[in-house]
Amino acid sequence: MNRYIPHTDEDIKVMLEKIGVKSTDDLFSDIPEDVVFKGEYDIPSAMSEVELRKHFKELGDKNSQLTVFAGGGAYDHYSPSVIGHLLARSEFYTAYTPYQPEISQGTLQYIFEYQSMICELTGLEASNASMYDGATATAEAAMMMVASAKKKNKVLISATVAPRVAEVVKTYTKFHGIELTVIPEKDGVTDLEALQESLKAGDVAGIIVPCPNKYGIIEDFTGVAEKVHAVKALMAMTCDPSTLAVLRTPAEWGADIACGDGQTLGMPMQFGGPYLGFMACSKAQLRKMPGRVVGATKDADGKRAFVLTLQAREQHIRREKATSNICSNQSLMALYATIYVALMGRKGLEEVNKLSCDGAHYLYEKLLSTGKFHKAFDKPFLKEFTVHTDLDIKKTNEYLASKGYMGGIDLGNGLVEFAVTEKRTREEIDEFVTLMLEA
Amino acid sequence: MTIKDNLRYAESHEWVSLEGEIATIGITDYAQHALGDIVYVDMPEIGDEVTAGEDFGAVESVKAASDLYSPVSGEVVEINEALEDEPGLINQDAFANWIMKVKVSDPSEVANLLDAEAYAKICEE
Amino acid sequence: MKYYDKLIFELSRPGRVGYELPKNVFATDGEKEIPSDLLRKSKLDLPEVSELDVVRHYTNLSNKNFGVDTGFYPLGSCTMKYNPKINEEVATMPQFAALHPLQNPETAQGALELYWNLQNALSNLAGFAEFTLNPYAGAHGELTGLMVMRSYHEARGDHKRTKVIVPDSAHGTNPASAMVAGLEVVEVKSRPNGSIDIEDLKPLLNDEVAGIMMTNPNTLGMFETEIVEIAKLVHDAGGLLYYDGANFNPLLGKVRPGDMGFDIMHINLHKTFSTPHGGGGPGSGPVGVAEHLVQFLPNPHVKKSEDGKFYVENGEDALGSVSTFFGNFGVMMKAYAYILSLGKEGIKEVGPMATLNANYIKESLKDDYLLPIEGACKHEFVFDGLRDKSTGVTTLNVAKRLLDYGFHAPTIYFPLLFHESMMIEPTETESLETLEEFIEVMHKVAKEARETPEEVKNAPLTTLVRKLDETTAAKNPILNYKALKNS
């Protein structure tokens, strides 16, 4: 026996007697003999905590901890110490989905707070309780727009949506049977003339546009929502929630749906997850929005309380008629985001963006001044930007890694994309640029 | 449970009343009772084409949802907007609170539906 | 402890802050470069609170929650086992937490090795050729598995296969996943004991069937003894078998799904492999496949070269991508720690002890609760409510009364095969004493149902909040603080 299985020999004896069998094998006697596993598992013998810690440390030491100047969907933002301590409360992390509201008010209330914050950031009226990640949330938005349009089956996606997000949308729509058409890019932004042309036939259920886009550019979508709505289509924006504290919101652009990845709300990069996907929508689209939703109500004594609501939309009731198959949320990560936003507040988020933006522009200017980097697009950006370079990006990045830095992301054709967060100091930026020239 | 004599019924628990070429459609008292407190009615849009036997919307209670099947084919000419704010009206009176009106393309479809007596039998089963 | 029901927004005081950021030393003003049309105009109404406000607020909220560390969760189909603490510790190690997913694989060898080791351990435990760890949850794994299924048929030019057979007793997620994957659901009937009716299955099998989704043990906790025959029938008809790993726990140490004839499966790491449910997530839903399907698994793939280096590969034949990066890596770390803690010997005890616990509760309670299916169950079983139906006390009432006694409720009204379903799964981590306490309380509730039924019907009576008005919540949804303030 081991520390996670408490049965003593005596316990087992008592239990077998009650059940009326001689051994636990008898409980499996209905399994056909030829499928029973009789071999030995090819995994190591049990490790003590001492050995386990050592093993994890050995694995950890094979990773290099780098000073990060890349984004591409994961950003090295600052994580306040408080969050880790509160997330470690086992009343939160060992709880099940709050289907029993009487003993789950803690979870239900923080989800309500999370939804409130996402609504504030996006400007939209309803948010779900979170989804897997930004890419799947965007794919769900595509399905939601088609479900909402009823008879139309075509979704347009801008070529400037981040490639990893676009790839997941492409995968989902391919299997789901949605016709996905890419709106081309022009000078680093969505080609709005091409978009307008694509809308003409009137067969479009919705469009997906990014903010910021895959180059870090903040695009101007003036007039887009009007054109989309004129053909009874919907507009979804895939965006970075941290930047919404300063950038024009999806609601202000006239979008019906906002989605994206919550990682930028201070979450550790953790080699890609867990993060969360957020989704918010206008009131008109609420009933088609996938995922769990928490609402406020009262209990039998009139006390304010929170509960999972609008469940009749979900897969466990609607089965194949549901908009989505999702039946969980990234709840603990929603708590992460909630505590982060609570600590930072409006001022903190504005400051995070200001610091990141100023640092990014400092790096940008510095890179251009070396003569080895050139403007790729002359467009506004916040914390992430793309430039042309004469350098061998692969070789440069390998050299940077050997010096403890993660360089920009190679976008091909001599384009390289850098990201700067509030954690990067001026000294780091200066050294980073010097090292690149050395490589 | 009420069943009205002057109406026609679908096995999927919708009722129809035909006046000229306009069919008024709702769900039956039996259906509202089975669902319990109705919290939302997903209605079609004016101008939508509906087909007999195919779904045109859904009604939701707290823990259940039921698709609505159109008993007739034609074009939706009116929807009961009052249900948008007060879906519970159906619980109060399922016959007074219709869901949509359809300009029927084939009035004979109505004749093929169940009469009150036949529908009552289905409910008993 | 005092009752606490404030929202963080209600603690807000203008000017209060809960953070401190580095000083801005950049002379550049980046935001000035952004045209004002592209900037936010509307007010951003977020809480303004101190650090201690935040700490106390969320600590108070945590006190309003029940978790596995609080007490026993007899929650059928959810495998609420103990969440070992060492797993939490190693998962927050900075050598992994600070790792960017797009770092050059050369600089992330430890993370890739962990992914590779876990993928191999799962393949070995489940009897498959390879696993992808990218899917984020069970439902996501199901969807990915069905995409594998379709990719396989498509690659063979077998475009007709667009139907998937799902038992009528299956959880709603199965048909919903099929719908998302673009497959049409065909239901196969269950026999009274929840097993698939082979005679009903046979005529459904034809050249339009992509495959069948099953779980074994089935939703009633009974082993599908005819699985070998079912596998042969489906394979002979050209279909594939999908194994929903929701009920994998009792098979650990006993049977491997791959050996039963399944081609594809997903595993819920948050069930069988002890990672916490987190109040609804993050989970993780790795998908394993037999040899002939490996090429279709989603990108990215983690591979090991002959010189022992790990690398990342994006395959041409892959179904596409279902995640931005490598899935919920932090969750994988915990599952990996769990497997190593149990080791090859300990893991063999999981299925038998989980099964022993379930049968013990079943035999101890069947005098008061109606057991529709006799015989040895596996990890879980279903009661059809109280034996004595004359009291009017329902399964819901019993479930809510359990909350008063400090237990979580069982899974109720699922499966749909019975009117008063009450699905109980104790897991192997619960001791005999805990089971005895639960059994005693269940008997007590049955007695109350006979003697003071009104009290049971009004339960819960002692929880922080009582029965909630769910109808009003759904009719007039209030989904955020702004709406609540204005209501």
Q: Which helix (H) or strand (E) holds A18?
A: helix A9-19
Question: Which range, of A36-45, A132-141, B103-112, averages the lowest pLDDT?
Answer: B103-112
All domains of chain B in start order, with CATH: 8-116 (2.40.50.100)
Distance from CA of C414 to the nearest CA of B (A): 13
Strand A409-412 to A405-406 pairing: unpaired
Interface partners of chain A (CB pairs < 8 Å, 3 or more) are B, C
| ipTM for this model | 0.97
Residue B93 contacts C, CB cutoff 8 Å = no
User: Treating both helix axes as pointing N-terminal to C-terminal, what angle do A163-176 and A134-149 enclose, rounded to 10 degrees?
Assistant: 40
Within 8 A by CB and 6+ apart from C423, the residues are: C75, C76, C77, C219, C380, C381, C382, C410, C411, C412, C414, C415
CB atoms < 10 A from the CB of C295, how many?
Answer: 18
Predicted model pTM: 0.96
CB atoms < 10 A from the CB of A434, how many?
Answer: 12
Distance from CA of B37 to the nearest CA of C (A): 7
Query: Which residue does chain C place closest to A47, by CA atoms?
Result: C341
pLDDT at C112 (0 to 100):
98
For A111-126, the pLDDT digits (tens) are: 999 999 999 999 999 9
Mean pLDDT computed over A237-256: 98
* H helices, E strands: number in chain B: 5, 9
- Residue A244 tokens, joined: 């919404």
DSSP string, C229-294: HHHHHHHHTT-EEEEEGGG-GGGTTTB-GGGGT-SEEE--TTTTT----TTT------EEE-GGGG
**Residue pair A32/C225 in contact by the 8 Å Cβ criterion:** yes
Positive or negative, the Cα torsion across A263, A267, A272, A275? negative
Q: DSSP secondary-structure letter at A35? A: G
Within 8 A by CB and 6+ apart from C433, the residues are: none
Residue B89 contacts C, CB cutoff 8 Å = no
Residues of chain A with CATH 3.40.640.10: 81-339
pLDDT at C347 (0 to 100):
96
Hey, what long-range contacts does B59-63 have (CB within 8 A, 24 or more apart)?
Answer: B59/B27, B59/B31, B59/B35, B59/B87, B59/B90, B60/A312, B60/A313, B60/C474, B61/A312, B61/B35, B61/B36, B61/B37, B62/A311, B62/A312, B62/B36, B62/B37, B62/C470, B62/C471, B62/C474, B63/A311, B63/A312, B63/A317, B63/C470
Distance from CA of C266 to the nearest CA of A (A): 15
Mean pLDDT computed over A392-408: 97
Write down the domain spans for chain C: 8-62, 86-341, 350-471
Pick C414 or A348 by higher pLDDT: A348
For chain C, what percent of residues have pLDDT higher than 90? 92
Match 């726990």 to its residue by tokens: C249
pLDDT score of A1 more than 80? no
Spell out the alpha helix ranges (H) of A209-330. Answer: 224-230, 250-253, 315-318
Cβ neighbours of A354 in C, within 8 Å:
24, 30-31
CATH of A81-339, one of 3.40.640.10, 1.10.340.30, 1.10.645.10, 3.40.47.10: 3.40.640.10
DSSP string, A230-260: HTT-EEEEEE-GGGGGTBPPHHHHT-SEEEE
Chain-chain contact of C475 with B60 (C-beta, under 8 angstroms): no
**Hey, which residues 418-477 in chain C have their CB within 8 Å of chain B?**
470-471, 474-475
Mean pLDDT computed over C142-153: 98
**CATH fourth-level superfamily of A67-78+346-438:** Aspartate Aminotransferase, domain 1 (3.90.1150.10)
d(CA A198, CA A231): 11
Q: Which residues make beta-bridge pairs with A374?
A: A388
Cβ neighbours of C484 in A, within 8 Å:
296
Residue B46 contacts A, CB cutoff 8 Å = no
Interface partners of chain B (CB pairs < 8 Å, 3 or more) are A, C
pLDDT at C3 (0 to 100):
80
**Residue pair C136/A168 in contact by the 8 Å Cβ criterion:** no
pLDDT at A150 (0 to 100):
79
**Residue pair B32/B92 in contact by the 8 Å Cβ criterion:** no
Residue B65 contacts A, CB cutoff 8 Å = yes
Is 3.40.50.920 the CATH classification of the domain at C86-341? Answer: no
Mean pLDDT computed over B103-115: 89
DSSP string, C378-419: SS-EEEESBS-GGG---HHHHHHHHHHTT----EES-STTST
Chain-chain contact of C38 with A218 (C-beta, under 8 angstroms): yes
Within 8 A by CB and 6+ apart from C387, the residues are: C367, C368, C369, C370, C446
pLDDT score of B37 more than 70? yes
For chain C, what percent of residues have pLDDT higher than 70? 100
Question: Which range, of A64-68, B86-90, C284-288, averages the lowest pLDDT?
Answer: B86-90
d(CA C473, CA A293): 11
* 3 state SS of C108: strand
**Hey, which residues 401-430 in chain C have their CB within 8 Å of chain A?**
403, 408-409, 428-430
Please state the φ and ψ torsions of residue A157, each to the nearest 5 degrees: -130, 135
Residue B67 contacts A, CB cutoff 8 Å = yes
pLDDT at A151 (0 to 100):
84
pLDDT score of C171 more than 90? no
Could you tell me the CA-to-CA distances from B72 to A110, A298, B18, B51, B106 in Å, in that order? 47, 42, 10, 6, 8
pLDDT score of C1 more than 70? no
Please state, rounded to an integer, the average pLDDT across all residues of chain C.
Answer: 96
d(CA A11, CA A186): 72
User: Treating both helix axes as pointing N-terminal to C-terminal, what angle do C109-126 and A49-61 enclose, rounded to 10 degrees?
Assistant: 130
Q: pLDDT band at C233, cuts 50/70/90?
A: very high
Mean pLDDT computed over A153-177: 98
Q: Which residues make beta-bridge pairs with C269?
A: none
- Residue C449 tokens, joined: 């149902």
Q: Backbone dihedral region of C414: left (phi > 0), alpha (psi from -120 to 50 degrees) or beta?
A: beta
- Residue A399 tokens, joined: 């050299």
Residues of chain A with CATH 3.90.1150.10: 67-78+346-438
Q: Which helix (H) or strand (E) holds C451?
A: helix C432-451
User: Treating both helix axes as pointing N-terminal to C-terminal, what angle do C51-62 and A105-122 enclose, rounded to 10 degrees?
Assistant: 140
DSSP string, A121-183: HH--SEE-S-BS-HHHHHHHHHHHHHHHHSS--EEEEETTS-HHHHHHHHHHHHHHT-EEEEE
Query: What amino acid occupies position C278?
Result: G
> What CATH number was assigned to the domain covering residues C350-471?
3.90.1150.10
- Residue C137 tokens, joined: 């949850």
Query: What amino acid occupies position C340?
Result: L
Chain-chain contact of C323 with A168 (C-beta, under 8 angstroms): yes
For A350-376, the pLDDT digits (tens) are: 999 999 999 999 999 999 999 999 999
Interface partners of chain C (CB pairs < 8 Å, 3 or more) are A, B
Question: Which range, of A59-63, A274-278, B48-52, averages the lowest pLDDT?
Answer: B48-52
d(CA C259, CA B84): 54
pLDDT at A64 (0 to 100):
96
For C19-58, the pLDDT digits (tens) are: 999 998 888 888 888 999 999 999 999 999 999 999 999 9
Mean pLDDT computed over C218-229: 92
Spell out the alpha helix ranges (H) of C74-160. Answer: 85-91, 94-97, 109-126, 138-155
Nearest to A111 by CA among A341, A338, A344: A338
d(CA B13, CA B31): 6
For A26-59, the pLDDT digits (tens) are: 999 999 999 999 999 999 999 999 999 999 999 9
Pick B36 or A110 by higher pLDDT: A110
Of C64, C280, C341, which is closest to A331 when you measure between CB atoms?
C280
